[in-house]
Structure 1
Amino acid sequence: MTIERPSPSYSDTEVGMLRSYLDHFRATIRLQASGLTAAQLDQTLPPSDLTLGGMLKHLAYVEDYWFSYNLGAHEPSPPWDTAPWDDDADWDWHSAAGADFDELDALLVAAIAHSDACLDAALAADPDLGRPVARPRDPAKGGTATVRWVLVHMVEEYARHAGHADLIRQSIDGATDV
């Protein structure tokens, strides 16, 4: 399997620019985890307990949470709809233990495709990035996130985890150029 990592746009519309950075970092995370065994995907870089496998599953969850649940007002997709969140608030991270790359990558790729479809539908209905998402995150703490906020937040989420992934991957096999 070849994972293509697109370069972010230098000049584009606001939506195009945000999506190009998001796609770049989505591919970066997938590349950092590619080619590793299930055992390697479970490795940590102490003192952190983050793993590349957990990161893939966490990002699949975050995709569903922001684009489908909040932006599109859909109910959570499987496996998030039946996850035991009350027993383990970090279930997305922990439940990846023992899973192989193909399984975790397929979950993330499917979540990304669903997220892109939700974003496309939302923008087709109303292209205003300043409009609020369908579900308020916490109105008591300052209101509802906007479509722009979700896009910027997702770029930030992936970029932050890409840095984590760089360090974890290097600690596993010395790779620095994936």
Structure 2
Amino acid sequence: MTDYWWEPPFAGTETEHLLGALDRQRATFRWKADGLTAAGLNATAGASSLTLGGLLKHLALVEDYHSAWKLRGESPGERWKPALSGDGWEFRSAADDSPEQLYALWDSAVAAARERYMAALADGGLDRPVHLTGPGGQPVSLRRLLFDLLEEYGRHTGHADLLREAVDGLVGEDPPAGWQPRP
């Protein structure tokens, strides 16, 4: 399966399936955004102002915010301070970043999030409560946090699919065999 490293297990545990599904969405999203110039990362489709560069930066924020604040109650980092107002700063400011910066930002955020989630799984599994609480202070499990992240990727991978097709016609459900992200 090394040609298809993003493929979830065919018969695994609940944790392996959940993490596998998340990594498949991450890989598909990264493939849709991969190898573009600044012009490609800043291209829009139709009336929307959404870009692949903006999605890369937004999902890097989501990875850091979920795995730092929601999981552990820690700051997602100073680089995200402008984004915490919730006004879409990360989508707009991505146009000022080079492709190399955007790819490195997303790649490093995903790597850090994977480490944090693996540590949390080792410390209580999917039922382990996270820092985030629900309305009324109900505990939120790591399972719920990871499913929320998976849903976020599902939405934005669909957006990325449409944007990439508009940029250069690339279509497809999964990366081709042997694909690896370009830095």
Query: What is residue 127 of structure 2 aligned with on the other side?
Result: 130
Alignment map for 1:2-81 (pairs within 5 Å): 6-80=6-80
RMSD: 1.9
- Conserved? CA contact 2:83–2:90, under 8 Å: no
How far the C-alpha of 1:37 sits from its partner, in A, is 1.0
Query: What is residue 102 of structure 1 aligned with on the other side?
Result: 100
- Give unmatched runs, 5+ long, in structure 2: 176-183
Query: What is residue 139 of structure 1 aligned with on the other side?
Result: 135
User: What secondary structure, in the 3-state scheme, does the structure 1 residue paired with 2:130 have?
Assistant: coil
Identity, in percent, stands at 41
Which among 153, 159, 168 is matched to residue 164 of structure 1? 159
Query: What is residue 112 of structure 2 aligned with on the other side?
Result: 114
Which among 129, 148, 155 is matched to residue 153 of structure 1? 148
Higher relative contact order (CA 8 A, sep 6+): 2
How far the C-alpha of 1:47 sits from its partner, in A, is 2.0
Q: Which amino acid aligns with 1:72?
A: R
- Conserved? CA contact 1:33–1:169, under 8 Å: yes
Quick check: 167-176 or 69-78, which moved more?
Answer: 69-78
Q: Which amino acid aligns with 2:117?
A: L
Question: Take 2:44 and 2:107, find their aligned partners in 1: how far apart are those partners?
Answer: 23
User: What secondary structure, in the 3-state scheme, does the structure 2 residue paired with 1:36 have?
Assistant: coil
How far the C-alpha of 1:6 sits from its partner, in A, is 1.2
Residues 14-57 of structure 1: per-residue CA shift (max 9 Å, x gap): 11111111111111111111121112111111222211000000
State TM-score, norm by structure 2. Answer: 0.84
Residues 107-145 of structure 1: per-residue CA shift (max 9 Å, x gap): 111111111111111112212x23321232x534x7343
- Give unmatched runs, 5+ long, in structure 1: none
Structure 1 runs of 4+ off > 2 angstroms?
98-101, 142-145
- Conserved? CA contact 1:64–1:76, under 8 Å: yes
Question: Take 2:160 and 2:5, find their aligned partners in 1: how far apart are those partners?
Answer: 15
State TM-score, norm by structure 1. Answer: 0.86
Q: Which amino acid aligns with 1:171?
A: A
Query: What is residue 83 of structure 1 aligned with on the other side?
Result: 82
Question: Take 1:49 and 1:145, find their aligned partners in 2: how far apart are those partners?
Answer: 34
Q: Which amino acid aligns with 2:157?
A: A
